[in-house]
Amino acid sequence: MKVPDTKGNKINAIIRACRIITRMNQANPDTPKSEALYYQMLSSYYTRLRNAHDEGGFIAAHTVFFPSEILYAMDIVPMHTEMTTWMMALFLGEQAEILSAGAELGLVPEICSPHRGLAGAFALGALPRPDAMLWSNLICDNTAKSGELIMELTKCPGFFLDHPFQRSEAEDKYLVSELEDMIDFLEEKSGQKMDWDKLSEIVQKMDHQMELLREIGELRKAVPSPFPNRGFLQLLTVDYLCPGQPEAIAYLETLRDELAEKVREGKGAVSPERFRLMTLFVPPMYLMGFLEKIGQEYGAVSVVEPLFTRWAEGKLDPSRPLESVARKTAMIPERRSMYGPLSQEVLQDLIDCAEQYKVDGAVYWAFMGCRHTCATVKLFKDLLNEVDVPVMTIDCDIVDPTINSEAEIREKMEQFFEMLEDR
Amino acid sequence: MVIDVTQTTAGQLKTLGRFRQINDTFPRTEQIREHKNQGKKVFGWLCTYVPEEIIHAAGILPVRVTGYSQEMELEDGNAYLYINNCSFSRSCLQMGLRGEYEFLDGMVAGSTCDGARRLFDLWQHYIKTPFYHILTVPRKYTEKAHGLYYQQVVQFKEHLEEFLSQKIADEQLRHSIEVYNQARVLLKQLYELRKADTPPISGAETMEVLNTSFHMPKETFNQWLKELLDELGKSSNRHQGRARLMVVGSVMNNPEFIKSIEAQRGLVVTDELCTSTRYWSDPVVLAEGQSPVKAISRRYLSNFPCARMVPSDERFRRILNLVKEFKVDGVVSQIIRYCVPYAHDLPLLRDRLKDIGVPMLALDVEYGTSGSGQIQTRVQAFLEMLEARKR
């Protein structure tokens, strides 16, 4: 398997797109300041990635839910593989090209599209060649299996981080020992040493970042809810790309303050607010604009995403940085609900969310590439129906627009809103 | 007597008929009924990373949970697990939901793949079985991973002891290791016979034997298999086909699929499936004075690996060895739709086989398929290509 020269990669195009959006936002005085900070954060992440090799930096590609705090502490440049594929889909609309390249490698359509896409993107040379590939089984078989093909395509060394399925003292220790082995691997390959003081600082900031995310979650309980539908993706991006980084903190603090002000003023993201929705799993990335629009039309707003934005309670301890990084992985919302046995606690939390956020209805985005979440569609529906919350399920693909048309999703959502109205 | 692989020897081999009867009646077999009638317990297990010896040593009959033996409409499976989980897990769940496994006193799984873990989650929620346990199964083979898995097996044993209100003694574990190792040795002997240019048993017949191995008491299975091996040793029957094939990929326990390949005179001589070679290949090695639980846990984690394990090189190395040992002309990969671990490995395995000049036919299938229709056409074309290469 050979890949072309990566000089023509698509990172520049993502940076350009972010800058254009930033300029458009600057021209509009009504744009919240947090919005500008978000795109600056993206632009800065991808600029660092683009310049890495020219500046003698070491790039580590990694899969989703990976503890990139460690990379930042070692001054290694992270490249979030799934997120970068999503960004290409979102900003450049080049899904077809990268998915087709994935298919040419022999990856069947049943494999989740971001993973087919990222393999395709590497095969096309659309992403910079990593100096190391890091991947883990958090959160599914796709993440567990995507690393080796990328190593082969890009001829780079790799490290698989084995994430235990359940939590116990022994399993927590195992995860910490895995992190230690990964640090050894990175030190050897990059020639860069772990800066433990820096890791402690990052952990401290990450603790604050989680607190901010929880505060934002609390503010969204207000009626009307102040947070727009399009913001969901931004909340995910912050942790995926910049955990414990100053730009993430700046964005979240600003966002929190803006939301608090809106709550004080009784202003909602949609006006009038008619339907408070729970979002289960992730809507198609390329439909975020459409969802914002239809939300405004019908007064529908997503107030909570239990699988993605509901952070567990708890504190990190900067004096024990590695244990804290391991502990944080257990606190992320996705880990709680989508990895490990489906506990009674997780199921109860879903019901609590519906009540606390005064949810009128739930939309389950059944992403066909995500088997382990779709396995919960009926179970979650049964539980939510018990507390009188109707659930609409929409089969979709989060990056491939050929699976659903906007018109088809509009029709389904309109029918759902009509049903909620009748209730 | 050299016979074409399209012909079955079941009529001539007395013991093969007994194996077939188990397959035809599972899960409502006479053996399971008898075991229950004696007041003993039966546990279901999912995936080959569940240490059966622990269950057996507790006096419980371990039975592998499998789905329908043919491709079926899976209305309940689809509704509960959604259509994008593999048809194996949907088929198993549907059988559970419809009461086919109501005799089970326990269900044990490992965190082996997304399909298996979600099947376990929903089984626990919707099907009321008295005992449940899921083991964290590391994906690596390092000493630390072995350490973690050992602790998992110990926890499972303790959980089981608590449920039964009785201790499982080392002596019982040693006995179970002997029984299971004997099955492994006998199955290896059966496979050795298939290395011959004209083996005395076909691939489909072998699958019938394997399918019973995890659905009945091991002691009886061992006895039956010994008798079959005796018969095969005396038999003059020899199978021949157009090409020697190996089947790899997802879970598969339907002899009809192999039969459909052999009906076109493709002789299946070996395989890499969790229902076959990966089930029996490695014995539990119990050193003098060693804890039996430690020996069991080591064997289960370092056994012929599933595609879930990292790195995949060990699985590929073992497949390539089998290709050489069994003089395989071509490999048939059958991957159940949405069986992601195997799907990810496919391009890597194809490249490695290509390097040693062995072609691969990649089939997307559903669990329980009999291999009819388009699959037959593709197998036919593959066999023609293999024949052309020989000329």
Taken in order of first residue, the domains within chain A and their CATH numbers are: 6-193 (3.40.50.11890), 197-422 (3.40.50.11900)
Q: For chain B, what is the largest distance between any 2 Cα atoms, rounded to a whole number of angstroms?
A: 66
Average pLDDT, integer, range B85-104: 97
CA pair distance B123, B97, nearest whole angstrom = 8
Look at A226-235, A409-418, B102-111, B195-204 and tell me which has the smallest mean pLDDT: A226-235
Q: What confidence category does residue A8 fall into, taking pLDDT thresholds of 50, 70 and 90?
A: low
**Cβ-Cβ contacts under 8 Å, B337 against chain A:** 108, 110
Give domain status of residue B237, yes or no. Answer: no
Which chain A residue has its CA at the smallest distance from B311's CA? A148
What is the dihedral sign for C-alpha B113, B119, B121, B123?
A: negative
Q: Which residue among B122, B148, B308 sits closest to A375, beta carbon to beta carbon?
A: B122
User: Is the Cβ pair B350, A378 closer than 8 Å?
Assistant: no
Give domain status of residue B255, yes or no. Answer: no
Q: Which residue among B81, B335, B339 sits closest to A375, beta carbon to beta carbon?
A: B81
Q: How much of chain B is in helix, strand and coil states, percent to nearest 5?
A: 50, 15, 35
What own/partner pairs with CB < 8 Å and gap ≥ 24 does B72-79 have? Answer: B72/B368, B79/A378
What own/partner pairs with CB < 8 Å and gap ≥ 24 does A377-381 have? Answer: A377/B82, A378/B79, A378/B80, A378/B82, A379/A342, A379/A347, A379/B80, A379/B121, A379/B122, A379/B125, A380/A280, A380/A350
3-state secondary structure of B301: helix
Q: Give the distance from residue A146's alpha carbon to the nearest chain B alpha carbon, in angstroms.
A: 7
**Cβ-Cβ contacts under 8 Å, B346 against chain A:** 106-108
Which chain B residue has its CA at the smallest distance from A140's CA? B114
CA pair distance A132, A70, nearest whole angstrom = 14
Give domain status of residue B198, yes or no. Answer: no
* Closest C-alpha to A423, from A255, A278, A304, A276: A276
How much of chain B exceeds pLDDT 90, in percent? 92
Give domain status of residue B25, yes or no. Answer: no
CA pair distance A316, B131, nearest whole angstrom = 36
Query: What phi, psi does A52 have (nearest 5°)?
Result: -55, -55
Q: Give the distance from residue B382's alpha carbon to the nearest chain A alpha carbon, in angstroms.
A: 18
CA pair distance A284, B168, nearest whole angstrom = 52
CA pair distance A416, A410, nearest whole angstrom = 10
Identify the pLDDT of residue A234.
Answer: 92
B75 touches chain A (CB under 8 A): no
Average pLDDT, integer, range A319-348: 93
Domain tally, chain B: 1
**Cβ-Cβ contacts under 8 Å, B307 against chain A:** 145
> pLDDT tens-digit profile of B134-154?
999 999 999 999 999 999 999
Average pLDDT, integer, range A111-137: 93
A260 touches chain B (CB under 8 A): no
Average pLDDT, integer, range A126-132: 94
Scanning B355-384 for CB atoms below 8 A from A yields 362, 364
Identify the pLDDT of residue A92.
Answer: 81
User: How would you write chain A as a 3-class SS string?
Assistant: CCCCCHHHCCHHHHHHHHHHHHHHHHHCCCCCHHHHHHHHHHHHHHHHHHHCCCCCCCEEEECCCCCCHHHHHCCCEEEEHHHHHHHHHHHHCCHHHHHHHHHHCCCCCCCCHHHHHHHHHHHHCCCCCCCEEEEECCCCHHHHHCHHHHHHHHCCCEEEECCCCCCCHHHHHHHHHHHHHHHHHHHHHHCCCCCHHHHHHHHHHHHHHHHHHHHHHHHCCCCCCCCCCCHHHHHHHHHHHCCCCHHHHHHHHHHHHHHHHHHHHCCCCCCCCCEEEEEECCCCHHHHHHHHHHHHHHCEEEEECCCCCCCCCCCCCCCCHHHHHHHHHHHCHHHHHHCCCCCHHHHHHHHHHHHHCCCCEEEEEEECCCHHHHCCHHHHHHHHHHCCCCEEEEEECCCCCCCCCHHHHHHHHHHHHHHHHHC
**Cβ-Cβ contacts under 8 Å, A141 against chain B:** 113-114, 308, 340-341, 344
Choose, out of A63, A81, A141, the residue to mutate when testing the contact with B (most B CBs < 10 Å): A141
For residue B5, pLDDT beyond 80? no
**Using CB atoms within 10 A of its CB, is residue A422 exposed (0-12), middle (13-18) or buried (19+)?**
exposed
Element containing residue B363 per DSSP (H, E): strand B360-365
Average pLDDT, integer, range A196-207: 98
Q: Give the distance from residue B121's alpha carbon to the nearest chain A alpha carbon, in angstroms.
A: 6
Q: What confidence category does residue B196 fall into, taking pLDDT thresholds of 50, 70 and 90?
A: very high
Q: Which residue among A145, A177, A375 sits closest to B82, beta carbon to beta carbon?
A: A375
For residue A2, pLDDT beyond 70? no
Identify the pLDDT of residue A397.
Answer: 92
Q: Give the distance from residue A109's alpha carbon to the nearest chain B alpha carbon, in angstroms.
A: 9
Identify the pLDDT of residue B10.
Answer: 47
> pLDDT tens-digit profile of A27-60?
888 889 999 999 999 999 999 999 999 999 999 9
Give the count of alpha carbons within 13 A of A147, CB side only: 32
* Closest C-alpha to B386, from B256, B378, B342: B378
Choose, out of A112, A116, A159, A165, the residue to mutate when testing the contact with B (most B CBs < 10 Å): A165
Give domain status of residue B254, yes or no. Answer: no
A383 touches chain B (CB under 8 A): no
The one-letter amino acid code at B157 reads K
Give domain status of residue B80, yes or no. Answer: yes
CA pair distance A230, A286, nearest whole angstrom = 11
Average pLDDT, integer, range A160-187: 97
Give domain status of residue B5, yes or no. Answer: no
Place of tokens 């502990």: A327
CA pair distance B342, B256, nearest whole angstrom = 22
β-partners of residue A396 are A367
Identify the pLDDT of residue A183.
Answer: 98
3-state secondary structure of B113: coil
CATH of the domain at B145: 3.40.50.11890
Looking at this predicted complex, what is its ipTM?
0.95
Q: Give the distance from residue B364's alpha carbon to the nearest chain A alpha carbon, in angstroms.
A: 9
**Cβ-Cβ contacts under 8 Å, B119 against chain A:** 375
Q: Which residue has the higher pLDDT, B190 or B1?
A: B190
CA pair distance A156, A151, nearest whole angstrom = 5
Q: What confidence category does residue A3 fall into, taking pLDDT thresholds of 50, 70 and 90?
A: low
User: Is the Cβ pair A152, B348 closer than 8 Å?
Assistant: yes
Q: Which residue among B85, B136, B351 sits closest to A171, beta carbon to beta carbon?
A: B136
Q: Which residue among B80, B151, B338 sits closest to A110, beta carbon to beta carbon?
A: B338
Q: What confidence category does residue B85 fall into, taking pLDDT thresholds of 50, 70 and 90?
A: very high
* Closest C-alpha to B27, from B11, B39, B43: B43
Q: Give the distance from residue B15's alpha carbon to the nearest chain A alpha carbon, in angstroms.
A: 41
Q: Which residue among B120, B341, B347 sits closest to A141, beta carbon to beta carbon?
A: B341
**Cβ-Cβ contacts under 8 Å, B84 against chain A:** 110, 366, 368-371, 374
B158 touches chain A (CB under 8 A): no
Identify the pLDDT of residue B1.
Answer: 63
β-partners of residue A361 are A277
Scanning A93-112 for CB atoms below 8 A from B yields 105-108, 110-112
Task: Give Cα separations from A302 to A232, A279, A387, B165 (angstroms).
Answer: 8, 6, 18, 50
Average pLDDT, integer, range A163-174: 96
Choose, out of A108, A112, A179, the residue to mutate when testing the contact with B (most B CBs < 10 Å): A108
Q: Which residue among A107, A137, A366 sits closest to B139, beta carbon to beta carbon?
A: A137
Compute, in degrees rounded to 10, the torsion defined by CA atoms B231, B232, B238, B241: 130
CA pair distance B16, A333, nearest whole angstrom = 53
> pLDDT tens-digit profile of B6-44?
665 545 788 899 999 999 999 999 999 999 999 999 999
How much of chain B exceeds pLDDT 70, in percent? 97
CA pair distance A14, A26, nearest whole angstrom = 18
Give domain status of residue B156, yes or no. Answer: yes
Which chain B residue has its CA at the smallest distance from A153's CA? B348
CA pair distance A176, B110, nearest whole angstrom = 22
Q: How many CB pairs under 8 A join A and B?
A: 139
A155 touches chain B (CB under 8 A): no
Identify the pLDDT of residue B6.
Answer: 66
> pLDDT tens-digit profile of B328-385?
999 999 999 999 999 999 999 999 999 999 999 999 999 999 887 889 999 999 999 9
Range of the domain at B94: 33-171
Average pLDDT, integer, range A271-277: 97
Angular region, A60: left φ>0, alpha ψ -120 to 50, beta rest: beta
Whether A405 contacts A376, CB under 8 Å: no
Q: Which residue among B117, B136, B350 sits closest to A106, beta carbon to beta carbon?
A: B350
Average pLDDT value for chain B: 95
Q: Give the distance from residue A223's alpha carbon to the nearest chain B alpha carbon, in angstroms.
A: 34
B2 touches chain A (CB under 8 A): no
